[in-house]
Chains A and B, each alone.
Chain A
Amino acid sequence: SQKIEQNSEALNIQEGKTATLTCNYTNYSPAYLQWYRQDPGRGPVFLLLIRENEKEKRKERLKVTFDTTLKQSLFHITASQPADSATYLCALPSGGSYIPTFGRGTSLIVHP
């Protein structure tokens, strides 16, 4: 089955810098990959979806890349703000199912 790896260590950065989070997966390449944001004790919130034939997708200060050769997606937040502090989850369909499997997430802490 698909294994999804996200850095379990929190990423600490200074306000204004670019945060880069990594999502690696094993086995086959999915047709798409999603990124979600989750605040403590709250449900995940969908941010972006990138398809396997798209190298890059942008939405405001967010940018996602998808490298099917490396089996990796990078999630960037430019000009980061303390309000961006949260856990970011990547999710991708596993096996023959379209139901996404979620990674464990990486915690981002933006310091003022």
Chain B
Amino acid sequence: DSGVTQTPKHLITATGQRVTLRCSPRSGDLSVYWYQQSLDQGLQFLIQYYNGEERAKGNILERFSAQQFPDLHSELNLSSLELGDSALYFCASSAGGQNEDTQYFGPGTRLTVL
């Protein structure tokens, strides 16, 4: 158990809908990362937050947004969902969000868009 929790475990929704994925980092970790993993793309970095502020951005679509709250939990919002958004979404946390920081991954949320 990495200490990172993600809810829900599974989510099934329809195209055009909006969903929110939630992540609680390990106790003491200030940095949260979001990743998308699909069969054809591998693990893709979306966005990082550090202590409430956006720190780095990857291949995140404009339809997706995220935030980190004062209690350090984070939410990833996916809107106008398309079939191609079906994937596993992982949250990871690290202590400082710096070079060589070990990332601890959560169990993931499996999103299915029908």
- Chain A residues packing against B (C-beta within 8 Å): 31-32, 41-46, 49, 51, 89, 93, 97-105
B25 contacts partner chain A, Cβ-Cβ < 8 Å: no
The answer, among B43, B58, B98, for a CB contact under 8 Å with A44, is: B43
Structural contact, B105 and A98, CB atoms closer than 8 A: no
A-B contact pairs, 15 of them (CB 8 A): A32-B100, A41-B108, A43-B4, A43-B92, A43-B106, A43-B107, A45-B2, A45-B105, A98-B101, A99-B33, A99-B45, A100-B45, A101-B45, A102-B43, A102-B45
B108 CB to closest chain A CB, in angstroms?
5
Count the B residues whose beta carbon is within 8 Å of the partner chain — how many?
24
Q: Which residues of B contact A (CB under 8 A)?
A: 2, 4, 33, 42-43, 45, 48, 56, 58, 88, 90, 92, 98-108, 110
Identify which of B4, B42, B88, B102 contacts A102 (C-beta below 8 A). B42
- Give Cα A83 to B103, complex, Å: 23
Inter-chain CA distance A62–B25, complex, in Å, is 28
CB distance from A8 to the nearest CB of B (A): 10
- Whole-angstrom distance from the CB of A112 to the nearest CB of chain B? 27
Could you tell me if B102 and A41 are in contact, using CB atoms closer than 8 angstroms? no
Contacts of A45 in B (CB 8 A): 2, 105
Q: How far is the CA of A46 from the CA of B101 in the complex (A)?
A: 11
Which residues of chain A have C-beta atoms less than 8 A from B92's C-beta? 43
Cβ-closest 3 pairs across A and B: A43-B105, A102-B43, A98-B99
Inter-chain CA distance A41–B56, complex, in Å, is 26
CB-CB under 8 A from B103, the residues of chain A are: 46, 100
Q: Are B99 and A93 in contact (CB under 8 A)?
A: yes
- Which single member of B42, B58, B104, B105 contacts A105 (CB below 8 Å)? B42
Q: Which residues of A contact B105 (CB under 8 A)?
A: 43-45
CA distance A46 to B4 in the complex (A): 13
